[in-house]
C-alpha cells in the first residue's frame, strides 16, 4: 500500500515538474526557438489546431524562425494568429513560408519575464506540496486503519519528504536555467 502510494505521488510530482519545463519553454528569450510558437492555436478548416500540426517550424539561426506550412491556404491563418498572440512578433509572409525575426528583449521586458518564471515556479512548488499533503493524509489514514505499522508510517513519511525535496529541487533547477537564459544579452 505505502509503496504504491509513494509511486503514484512521485509520478504526479514528476508530471508537475515536466509541466513546468514545457510551460517555461514557451516564454520568449532573446533566442529564436520553435517551442516559442508551436503551441499557438490556429483556426484551419473549421477547427482549431496547434501550429506544429499545420507546419514545420525551424530556427536556422538565433534570431530567425521559419514556418513552412504544409498547406499553402493556411498561411493567412497562421500569420494572423502570430500577429494577435501576446508574443510581440511580426511575421513576414512571402507566399510560401513565414519568416519571423525575433528581436532582442529590452531589459524591462527581461525583468517582467523573470517575474513570470518565478510566479510559475512558485505555482509548481505549491502543487508539489499539495501532492505531499495528499499522500501524508493517505498514509495517516492507512496507519489509523492498521494497514501499516508506526515504523512503516515513519519510513514512508521520510521517503515522501525525500521525493518532495527532489522534485522541488528539479523544478528550481529548471527555473534557474530559464532565468539565466533570460539574463543573457
Q: Which of 130, 124, 133 is nearest to 168 (CA)?
A: 124
91 and 51 part of one domain: yes
The total of structural domains in the chain comes to 2
pLDDT tens string 111-161? 888 998 999 999 999 999 999 999 999 999 988 998 888 999 999 999 999
Query: Which residue in 159, 114, 115 sits closest to 13, CA to CA?
Result: 159
Residues 140 and 162 in one domain: yes
- What is d(CA 144, CA 134) in angstroms, rounded to the nearest whole number? 15
- In this structure, how many other beta carbons lie within 10 angstroms of the beta carbon of residue 159? 16
CATH number assigned to the domain comprising residue 59: 3.30.1360.40
Same domain, 130 and 172: yes
Q: Which of 101, 120, 152 is the last residue of a domain?
A: 101
Q: Is the dihedral of CA 53, 54, 56, 58 positive or negative?
A: negative
Domain that holds residue 88: 34-101
Please write the tens of the pLDDT for every residue from 64-115: 889 999 888 888 888 888 888 777 788 898 888 999 888 777 888 888 889 9
Q: What is the pTM of this model?
A: 0.72
Amino acid at each position: 500500500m505505502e509503496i504504491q502510494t509513494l509511486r503514484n505521488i512521485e509520478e504526479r510530482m514528476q508530471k508537475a515538474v515536466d509541466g513546468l519545463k514545457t510551460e517555461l519553454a514557451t516564454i520568449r528569450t532573446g533566442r529564436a526557438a520553435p517551442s516559442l510558437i508551436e503551441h499557438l492555436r490556429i483556426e484551419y478548416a473549421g477547427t482549431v489546431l496547434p501550429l506544429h500540426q499545420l507546419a514545420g517550424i525551424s530556427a536556422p539561426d538565433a534570431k530567425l524562425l521559419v514556418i513552412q506550412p504544409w498547406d499553402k491556404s493556411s498561411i493567412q491563418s497562421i500569420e494572423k494568429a502570430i500577429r494577435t498572440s501576446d508574443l510581440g512578433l511580426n511575421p513576414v509572409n512571402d507566399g510560401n513560408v513565414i519568416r519571423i525575426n525575433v528581436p532582442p528583449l529590452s531589459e524591462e521586458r527581461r525583468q517582467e519575464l523573470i517575474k513570470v518564471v518565478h510566479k510559475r515556479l512558485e505555482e509548481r512548488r505549491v502543487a508539489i506540496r499539495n501532492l505531499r499533503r495528499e499522500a501524508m493524509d493517505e498514509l495517516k489514514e492507512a496507519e489509523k486503519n492498521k494497514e501499516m505499522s508506526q515504523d512503516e508510517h515513519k519510513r514512508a513519511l521520510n521517503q515522501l519528504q525525500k521525493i518532495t525535496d527532489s522534485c522541488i529541487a528539479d523544478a528550481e533547477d529548471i527555473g534557474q536555467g530559464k532565468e539565466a537564459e533570460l539574463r543573457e544579452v
